[in-house]
Chains A and B, each alone.
Chain A
């Protein structure tokens, strides 16, 4: 079992819809969780970080964390074609600097 799992996609949603991206992790001591966006041929850029159970909202993005279920998700409201990218989930186990990334979910927002 991979330490951080994501569905590779592609996930296709129409413009204006809500895109829901999911990630599960295996390490129960993980404390910090991150969502990165990576456009094709570019480097990752941080969208959201979340450390506590519940929801965290930033503009059109909402991160949701459920540590009991070892599950973190990212919702993108009012999806735009410019949101089309690969979304990487990353987990940071407690007491380390070793970020663990998933393989990413490719999102396509159809105009």
Chain B
């Protein structure tokens, strides 16, 4: 079956622009995670959704970052007034249920470059 998909795969933004990154999790998956991965680093947790509820947003680096999952399926990560330090790969992952130890399935990521 289809895995996690993300779009766009690549995004170039000018500093100060707003961007929206989309994640389509595996159908029926309850849990959805967003991560930011800078070059040469491991993924850093941004936020977690269980269905439509955002249960943890402690990793969002500033109030310029906003995520939503209004119908409990597709999620959007929005970054306002992008800065150069926002350049990274943004990974989305989903898992079947709400148990914390379940396997996360990662999407291919969106590579964001802010000029």
Residues of A within 8 A of B (CB): 4, 8, 32, 42-46, 49, 51, 88, 90, 92, 96-104
Residues in A neighbouring B104, C-beta threshold 8 A: 46, 99
Residues on the A chain within 8 Å of B33, using CB = 97, 99
Are A97 and B109 interface neighbours, CB within 8 A?
no
Taking A88-B42, A103-B41 as contacts, is the C-beta distance between A97 and B107 under 8 angstroms?
A: no
B106 touches A88 (CB 8 A): no
Complex contacts, A51 vs chain B, CB 8 Å: 101
In Å, the complex CA distance between A104 and B58 comes to 23
Would A97 and B106 count as touching, CB distance under 8 A?
Answer: no
List 7 A-B pairs, minimum CB-CB distance, nearest first: A101-B42, A43-B106, A97-B48, A98-B45, A101-B43, A103-B42, A32-B101
Chain B residues with Cβ below 8 Å from A8 are 40
Find out whether the CB atom of B43 lies under 8 angstroms from the CB atom of A32: no
Contacts of B76 in A (CB 8 A): none
1/0 contact trace for B26-63 toward A, CB 8 Å?
00000101010000111111001000000110110000
Inter-chain contacts of A42 with B (CB < 8 A): 108
Please measure, in the bound complex, the distance between the C-alpha atom of A101 and the C-alpha atom of B35, giving whole angstroms. 10
Contacts of A103 on B, CB cut-off 8 Å?
Answer: 40-42
- Asked if B79 CB lies within 8 Å of chain A CBs, one says no
Please list 19 pairs of residues, one from A and one from B, whose beta carbons are closer than 8 Å in the complex, sorted by A's number.
A4-B42, A42-B108, A43-B91, A43-B108, A44-B91, A44-B106, A49-B101, A49-B103, A92-B101, A96-B56, A97-B48, A97-B100, A98-B48, A99-B43, A99-B104, A101-B42, A101-B44, A103-B40, A104-B42
